[in-house]
């Protein structure tokens, strides 16, 4: 496993797009019916070092099964950057908190990033899609336990018991593992036909 310059650029570019997407997606909540007054993330304390490290570690652990440094790093970064959905709180508008912590955001992010970066990069798709799972896993493990999982269709905050953190992490590992396995298998058959 080694890290080349193109991996670093890839990780930075994907992270930047993902971060703006999470911040942008939360703007949708300003037109939803169940919006509330959002708290300012700076006055509220925002992300502290412990949370950043926790989210990063949870993301990295799930992505290790890819056995590729660029995806392992992305697993960590995306699990942290999803919290840019809190930035909307700086705008003094009404909305729904933590819009990025939802299935719709996971789907939108997978589609946008795969189109922008590489349509056949299934590992990237798996990392982006499961970043929501590893992120929520650490949130439940540490402090928060309620998320608008089904927004913008059902804007109810769904709560999870603390023990459920492990289910989210295992689900992420399973999805990334299966997708990586299939991608590796596909690549090896392709390279074999190429050699012939
Ligand atoms: Zn969070």
Q: How far is the CA of 84 from the centre of ligand 1 (A)?
A: 9
Burial class (CB in 10 A: 0-12, 13-18, 19+), 156: exposed
Integer angstrom CA distances of residue 174 from 91, 133, 135, 170 = 38, 11, 15, 6
C-alpha of residue 141 to centroid of ligand 1, in Å: 11
User: Are 63 and 176 in contact, with CB atoms under 8 Å apart?
Assistant: yes
Question: What does the pLDDT read at residue 18?
Answer: 96
What pLDDT, on a 0 to 100 scale, did the predictor assign at position 194?
A: 66
Ligand 1 centroid from CA 136, angstroms: 6
- Mapped to the 3 state alphabet, what secondary structure does 147-175 carry? ECCCCCCCCCCEECCHHHHHHHHHHHHHH
Task: For residue 12, report the distance from its CA to the centre of ligand 1, in Å.
Answer: 21
Taking the centre of ligand 1 as the mean of its atom positions, its distance from the CA of residue 99, in whole angstroms, is: 10
What separation in Å is there between the alpha carbon of 98 and the centre of ligand 1?
Answer: 7
Q: Residue 1: pLDDT above 80?
A: no
Residue 161 confidence (pLDDT): 94
How confident is the model over 83-141, as pLDDT tens digits?
Answer: 888 787 777 888 888 888 999 999 999 999 999 998 899 999 999 999 999 999 999 99
**19-50 confidence digits (pLDDT tens):** 999 999 888 878 878 778 877 766 665 568 89
The confidence score (pLDDT) of residue 97 equals: 80
**How many Å lie between the centroid of ligand 1 and the Cα of residue 101?**
7
Q: Is the pLDDT of residue 152 over 90?
A: no
For residue 17, the model assigns a pLDDT of: 97
Decide which of 149 and 126 is more confident.
126
Global pTM reads: 0.91
Give the rounded percent of residues in the chain with a pLDDT score beyond 70: 95
Mean pLDDT over all residues of the chain?
A: 90
Cα–ligand 1 centroid distance for 160 (angstroms): 13
Q: Identify the domain containing residue 9 by its residue range.
A: 5-195
Comparing CA positions, the residue from 122, 125, 129 lying closest to residue 171 is 129
Q: How many domains, in total, are found in the chain?
A: 1
């Amino acid at each position: 496993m080694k890290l080349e310059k193109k991996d670093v650029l890839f990780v930075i570019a994907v992270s930047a797009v993902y971060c703006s997407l999470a911040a942008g997606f939360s703007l949708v909540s300003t037109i939803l019916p169940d919006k509330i007054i959002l708290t300012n993330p700076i006055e509220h304390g925002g992300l502290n070092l412990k949370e950043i490290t926790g989210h990063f570690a949870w993301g990295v652990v799930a992505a290790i099964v890819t056995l590729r440094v660029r995806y392992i790093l992305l697993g960590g970064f995306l699990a942290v950057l999803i919290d840019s959905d809190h930035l909307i709180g700086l705008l003094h508008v009404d909305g729904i908190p933590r819009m990025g912590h939802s299935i719709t955001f996971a789907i939108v992010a997978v589609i946008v990033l795969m189109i922008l970066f590489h349509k056949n990069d299934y590992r990237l798709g798996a990392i982006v899609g499961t970043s929501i799972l590893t992120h929520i896993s650490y949130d439940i493990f540490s402090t928060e336990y309620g998320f608008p999982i089904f927004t913008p269709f059902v804007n109810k905050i769904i709560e999870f018991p603390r023990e459920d953190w492990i289910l989210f992490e295992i689900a992420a590992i399973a999805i990334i593992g299966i997708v990586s396995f299939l991608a590796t298998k596909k690549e090896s058959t392709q390279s074999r036909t190429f050699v012939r």
